[in-house]
Amino acid sequence: MTTAAKILDPGCGSRMFWFDKTNQEVLFGDIRDEEHVLCDGRVLKVEPNAIMDFRSLPFDDATFKLVVFDPPHLRHAGVDSWLRAKYGVLTNDWRDDISKGFAECFRVLASDGVLIFKWAEDQIKVSELLALTDQKPLFGHKSGKREKTHWITS
């Protein structure tokens, strides 16, 4: 797959943290394309520009200047829960999935590019995730009420 986009978000979900959810420089990808009505009546839309699996990205090496890797962070969520609808859920092979995701994100990242990794430390510790890649983070920041959301830059 070829693209003019400079930025890749291969697990965009509903694009929650993006200020400009239609930014033309970003290729928004996800394995899901679905819509859910949440318990408060709001509609949650997962509408990627392209269907893709972050474990096997359809791009040449060194395609993007910036990759934003925000994979599902939940191992356990109810089948019909709003958490599953909003964030997705990891498979039982989550270590292999995340390891492949890191490898693919770094593969499609330009040699002078930047990877932003976002992780919510609810069910799996960040240290377990960072052990799944040989790449070392440059810096990071915890955010949220309980500082469980980690933003890490490599």
- Model confidence band, residue 76 (pLDDT cutoffs 50, 70, 90): confident
What is the Cα–Cα distance from 123 to 152, expressed in whole angstroms?
18
Domain tally for the chain?
1
Q: Which domain holds residue 124?
A: 7-153
C-alpha closest to that of 69 among 144, 139, 151, 149: 151
The answer to whether the beta carbons of residues 76 and 35 sit under 8 Å apart is: no
Would you say residue 144 has pLDDT above 80?
no
- Chain mean pLDDT for the chain: 92
What is the Cα–Cα distance from 138 to 15, expressed in whole angstroms?
24
- Model confidence band, residue 145 (pLDDT cutoffs 50, 70, 90): confident
Res 77: pLDDT: 82
- Section 107-127 average pLDDT: 94
Whether this model's pTM surpasses 0.95: no
Would you say residue 58 has pLDDT above 90?
yes
Would you say residue 59 has pLDDT above 80?
yes
Residue % of the chain over a pLDDT of 90: 70
State pLDDT tens for residues 81-91.
777 877 788 88
The CATH code of the domain that includes 62 is: 3.40.50.150
Asked, for residue 138, whether it belongs to a domain, the answer is yes
Asked, for residue 1, whether it belongs to a domain, the answer is no
3-state secondary structure of 128: helix
Res 84: pLDDT: 81
Res 147: pLDDT: 81
Asked, for residue 37, whether it belongs to a domain, the answer is yes
Asked, for residue 2, whether it belongs to a domain, the answer is no
Asked, for residue 137, whether it belongs to a domain, the answer is yes
